[in-house]
Structure 1
Amino acid sequence: MTSAPALRPKHAATLLILRRDAGPLRVLMGRRVRGHAFMPDKWVFPGGRIAPADYRVAAARPPAPDQLALTARACADCQRRARALMATAIRETFEETGLILGQPGQAASRSPNWQPFLNTGHLPDLAPLRLVGRAITPPLRSRRFDARFFTVDARHLASPHPTSGSGELDEVAWFTIEEAEALDLPSITRALLADVTAREHDPSRPVPYHRFDHGQHRLLSV
């Protein structure tokens, strides 16, 4: 009896929003609703898979050239997909938390994915995003993603106060790093949180790339 082939990972993006305005460093986390097919009840960073409209949406500012180049490494449709992944991180964060990473502006869109964001009177701002990781879900999982992880400082948000969003997350809140580490986290979320914390003291750290080959976890650099 042959086993089913592993699902092909879908491109996705995740945003770690860091808040430094008062006291210790804090990060935004959300708890996935119970009964969800992928990581129910786990605390995660907002994010999700890429949509076709993410390739076309207008932006208030383009990505920083070095970050676009870094995100574009080892992809078949390099810079175009890299830009789209940055837009994905912003759109998914808005959908799940109501937080707007953008600047005032107007653009026409026929996409139901982006219309709610654009209706706020903002265009997504790609300039402050920084790539801090990439991870591919292990084979034989019910969902598989090739995810890029970005950070952004909360001062770039239109407001730091999350709302209920789409309902995919049943609770969204700011946590200190110590508080976040005590939550029920997926292993990749915990690994990225530790790396981002270390990056606060050593910004020159290589960007980690987590993948699995023949059942073995491999930690590479992007």
Structure 2
Amino acid sequence: MPSPVPIRDAATVVLLREMQDGPSVLMGRRGARAAFMPSKYVFPGGALDPVDATVDFAAPLDAAHAETLGEMAAPLAACAIRELWEETGQILGRPADWPEAPTGWRGFARTGHRPDAAALVPVLRAITPPGQSRRFDARFFLARAEHLASDPDDFDRAEDELAHLHWVPLAQTDALDLPRITQLALHEVRARLNDPDPTRPMPFFHGTMEADIRP
């Protein structure tokens, strides 16, 4: 019997921007040879790195959101901001010197910013169902593009993990090849646009992608 696939903590950012065609989200396509979700359009995100637990924020995650996420709140928020930076070149941060930035964050620090966790709102949690080559316990954060400290149309500093980075109108996302969890995240984003109540509970999808509603 093969060993079970370990479940790794991860974070994803749904970056939302008001544009001429309506609310839009930043997405990119994974490579055709990727071990996980090949050729699918996804949001920027990835696995938690141990260094994410050492990050000194310019502004912390809102206290209510931190309570929702528990002891992993700060590392997950840092992971989300780091993955956004690495995969898109976008800076969710505030101007500040950061000479003591840890390895893995020094490129971000050289932009003259520290990460801004206050811009993040946790909206969904999902665990990859069994049977996948990789499994993640992913927390999806919503962030507004107006909180970016970078040009939202400049992806020159992005690494090569995602191709065809672009802003997709929410009304047109169904035309893309999306993983099931990305579809669920988009559904939650649309629901929050229609119901901006900050106390809205965060769905938790696990196993067969059935949801528990967690406060």
Pick the TM interval, shorter chain: over 0.9
- 1:91-110 maps to which residues of 2 (within 5 A)? 91-109=82-100
Q: Does the 8 Å CA contact 2:21/2:169 hold for their aligned counterparts?
A: no
AA partner of residue 28 (structure 2): G
1: distance between equivalents of 2:174 and 2:94?
32
Written as runs of structure 1 = structure 2, the 5 A alignment for 1:29-68 is 29-68=27-66
The CA deviation at 1:107 is 1.5
Q: Check the 8 A contact 2:6/2:134 in 1, yes or no.
A: no
Contact kept? 2:54, 2:102, Cα under 8 Å: no
1:170 aligns with 2:168: no
Corresponding position of 1:25: 23
Assess, with a 3 A threshold, how the Cα gap between structure 1 residues 208 and 162 changes in structure 2: closer, same or farther.
Answer: farther
Match of 2:129, SS state, is: coil
State which of 2, 6, 14 in structure 2 corresponds to 1:4.
2
**For the Cα contact (< 8 Å) 1:57–1:109, is it kept in 2?**
no
Q: 1:5 to 1:221 in 2, by over 3 A?
A: farther
* 1:12-40 CA-partner distances (Å, limit 9, x unpaired): 00000000254411111111122111111
SS at match of 1:179: helix
Structure 1: gaps spanning 5 or more residues: 73-77
* In structure 1, distance between residues paired with 2:209 and 2:48: 25
Amino acid at match of 1:45: F
Give, in whole Å, the separation in 2 of the partners of 1:66 and 1:180.
30
1:112 corresponds to which residue?
A: 103
Q: What is the aligned counterpart of 2:210 among 182, 201, 218?
A: 218
Distance 1:66 1:161 in 2: 31
Q: 1:105 to 1:184 in 2, by over 3 A?
A: same
Moved more, 104-113 or 136-145: 104-113
2:179 is matched with which residue: 176, 186, 203? 186
Deviation per residue, 1:125-173 (Å, 9 max, x gap): 0001000000000112111100000001000001212415110001100
Query: What is the TM-score with the length of structure 1 in the denominator?
Result: 0.90
Q: Are the aligned partners of 1:39 and 1:186 in contact in 2 as well (CA < 8 Å)?
A: yes
| 1:101/1:110 CA distance change after superposition, 3 Å | closer
SS for the counterpart of 1:181 is helix
The aligned length equals 210
How many Å separate the matches in 2 of 1:203 and 1:66?
15
| AA matched with 2:96 | G
Q: SS of 1:134's equivalent?
A: strand
CA distance in 2, matches of 1:157, 1:110: 20
| Residues 73-152 of structure 1: pairs in structure 2 closer than 5 A | 78=71, 81-109=72-100, 111-152=102-143
CA contact (8 A) 1:162 1:172 kept: no
Q: Aligned residues: percent identity?
A: 43
Counterpart amino acid of residue 176 in structure 1:
P
